[in-house]
Amino acid sequence: MNLLNQTVFITDADHPSGRALIARFAREGVPLALNSPSGGNAIREELAALTEAKVKLLQLDLRSRAAIVDALEAVEEELGPVGLLIHNQHRYEVTNLEHCSESLFVDVMDTNAKSAFLCTQIIGGRMAERGFGSILYVTSIHAEKPAAASFIYSASQGAIQMLAAEAALELGRRGVRVNTVEIAPVSGEEDHLTSPLSTLYDNYARKAPLQTVKARDLAELALFLSGDEAGALHGATIRLDGGFLLHYMDHKMKKST
């Protein structure tokens, strides 16, 4: 699929990953549908730079089927068909299994995982009707590695991971490429993941054999996965963590410079 004249739909433009995605895809000249929970306040700098790009700013509750359906109609009428859906919902709440309320559990799961289901069914379904498109789920390394500081976050990311696999199996037969990127925290985001139950994020930067992740790393990978150059890369899960999860002994950490 060539993204020329195809709209890119980003579900959380305010997230650091979303801001990097905006900048990268804008350089390709593609129309952008940006869902901003803040109504654009968090991405003022990015929006100001989009002087020549076609952009539609949205403020959607992605837990609502009706909201997504209405927004998709408006986006495609104004910008053209959505050719790439990037789902990057990362609602995170510090809590543990013992004390988490049922309402909080449902809220986080709905924000992260239910939104993935609805976006896939509605936007991915429209792609399948046309016989082309690409979906990229930006999940977390905690889809497979417990995040002791927030079990709900891990559970929601794991749910998205399996949803992505099912979507790849079904939508791939109808011309839609589906892939997942498991991303580690970008530099500075690891602080809210520390937990008295785990030393995983102690000395985070030194545990990554190569380097810690930058949001622009994701943006470059997303661009590649959306294009024809990705070929038969479909149903894949790519871990983008600089090798962080390979770490297993503190005395083997990369030496500080």
Instruction: Render pLDDT for 53-103 as a digit per residue (tens, 0 to 9).
Output: 899 999 999 999 999 999 999 999 999 999 999 999 999 888 888 899 999
Two tokens, residue 242: 């600089």
- Give me the CATH number covering residue 79: 3.40.50.720
Residue type, 102: E
Let me know: does 137 contact 115? Beta carbons within 8 Å: no
Structure tokens at 82: 């959505």
Q: Is residue 91 part of a domain?
A: yes
Q: Look at the block and give the residue holding tokens 């991303």.
A: 183
Do residues 100 and 154 make contact, with C-beta atoms less than 8 angstroms apart? no
Is 207 inside any structural domain?
A: yes
Which whole number is the average pLDDT over 177-189? 87
Residue 257 placed within a domain: no
Domain range for 176 is: 7-252
For residue 1, is it within any domain?
A: no
Local confidence band at 148 (pLDDT 50, 70, 90 cut-offs): confident
Residue range 148-174: average pLDDT?
95
As a whole number, mean pLDDT of residues 31-50 equals 95
- pLDDT (tens digit, 9 = 90+) per residue, 15-37? 999 999 999 999 999 999 999 99
Q: Any residues with CB less than 8 A from the CB of 152 and at least 6 apart, and which?
A: 93, 95, 100, 104, 105, 108, 109
For the chain, the domain total comes to 1
Residue 69, classified by CB atoms within 10 Å of its CB into exposed (0-12), middle (13-18) or buried (19+), is middle
Unique residue bearing structure tokens 């949001």:
215
Any idea which residue has 């790849």 for tokens? 168
pLDDT reported for residue 256: 61
**What SS3 class is residue 55?**
strand
Which of the four pLDDT bands, split at 50, 70 and 90, describes residue 207?
confident
Instruction: Please report whether residue 183 resides in a domain.
Output: yes
